[in-house]
Amino acid sequence: MQPHVRPVPGQFYLLRASETLDPLLRRPFSILMWDDTHLEFLIRLKGRGTHLLRNMRVGDRIDVLGPLGNGYPDPLKDETPILVAGGVGIASVFPLLHAGTRLFYGAMNSAELYLLDDIKKLTGNIFICTDDGSKGFKGNAVERLIESLDDLAVAKPTIYACGPEGMIAALLKFLSERGIPGYISFEERMACGIGACLGCVIKTVQGYKRVCKEGPVFNVREIVC
Partner 1 sequence: MNLSVNIGKLGLKNPVMTASGTFGYGEEYAEFVDLASLGAIVVKGLSLLPREGNPPPRIVETPAGMLNAIGLQNIGVESFIEEKLPFLRQFNVPVIANFFGDSVDEYVAAAERLSDVQGIDGLEMNISCPNKQAGWLVFGTDPEVTSEVVSAVRKVTGLPLIVKLSPNVTDIALMARVAEDAGADAVSLINTLSGMAIDIKTRRPKLANITGGLSGPAIKPIGIRMVWDVFRAVNIPIIGSGGIMDGDDAIEYMLAGAAAVAVGTANFVSPTATVDVLSGIKDYMTTNGIKDISSIKGGLIWEREDL
Ligand X SMILES: Cc1cc2nc3c(=O)[nH]c(=O)nc-3n(C[C@H](O)[C@H](O)[C@H](O)COP(=O)(O)OP(=O)(O)OC[C@H]3O[C@@H](n4cnc5c(N)ncnc54)[C@H](O)[C@@H]3O)c2cc1C
Ligand Y SMILES: Cc1cc2nc3c(=O)[nH]c(=O)nc-3n(C[C@H](O)[C@H](O)[C@H](O)COP(=O)(O)O)c2cc1C
Closest CA to 29 of 39, 18, 15: 15
Give least dist CB 216 to partner 1, A: 13
Distance, C-alpha 180 to centroid of its chain: 19
Strand partners of residue 80 = 157
Instruction: Give the nearer residue to ligand Y in terms of CB position, either 21 or 155.
Output: 21
Q: Which residues contact ligand FES (rule: CB under 6 A)?
A: 190-193, 195-200, 210, 212
Instruction: Give the nearer residue to ligand Y in terms of CB position, either 139 or 199.
Output: 199
Instruction: Give the nearer residue to partner 1 in terms of CB position, either 26 or 102.
Output: 26
Q: How far apart are CA 21 and CA 13, in angstroms?
A: 20
Q: Which residues contact ligand Y (rule: CB under 6 A)?
A: 197, 199
How many other C-beta atoms can be found within 10 angstroms of the C-beta atom of residue 12? 29
Instruction: Give the nearer residue to a copy of itself in terms of CB position, either 48 or 203.
Output: 48
Q: Which range touches a copy of itself (CB under 8 A), out of 15-23, 78-86, 147-155, 198-206?
A: 15-23
Q: Helix, strand, coil shares of the chain as percentages rounded to 5?
A: 25, 25, 50
Residues 6+ apart with CB under 8 A from 13: 7, 28, 29, 31, 39, 41, 64, 65, 66, 67, 68
Residues that bind partner 1 (rule: CB under 8 A) add up to a total of 27
Q: Which range touches a copy of itself (CB under 8 A), out of 19-27, 76-84, 163-171, 174-182?
A: 19-27
The partner in contact with residue 197, picked from ligand X, ligand Y, a copy of itself, none with C-beta cut-offs of 5 to 8 angstroms by kind, is: ligand Y
**1, 2, 3, 20: which one binds a copy of itself (CB under 8 A):** 20
The partner in contact with residue 1, picked from a copy of itself, partner 1, ligand Y, none with C-beta cut-offs of 5 to 8 angstroms by kind, is: none
Closest CA to 79 of 173, 188, 183, 202: 183
Per DSSP, the three-state class of 209 is strand
Site for a copy of itself contains 61 (CB under 8 A): no
**6, 46, 120, 121: which one binds ligand X (CB under 6 A):** 46
Give least dist CB 77 to ligand FES, A: 33
Strand partners of residue 29 = 13
Q: How far is CA 127 from CA 17, 54, 100, 110, 113, in A?
A: 35, 30, 12, 13, 12
Contacts (CB under 6 A) with ligand X, residues 69-108: 88, 91
Task: Report the interface residues with ligand X, using CB under 6 A.
Answer: 12, 25, 27-30, 41-44, 46-50, 88, 91, 187-190, 216
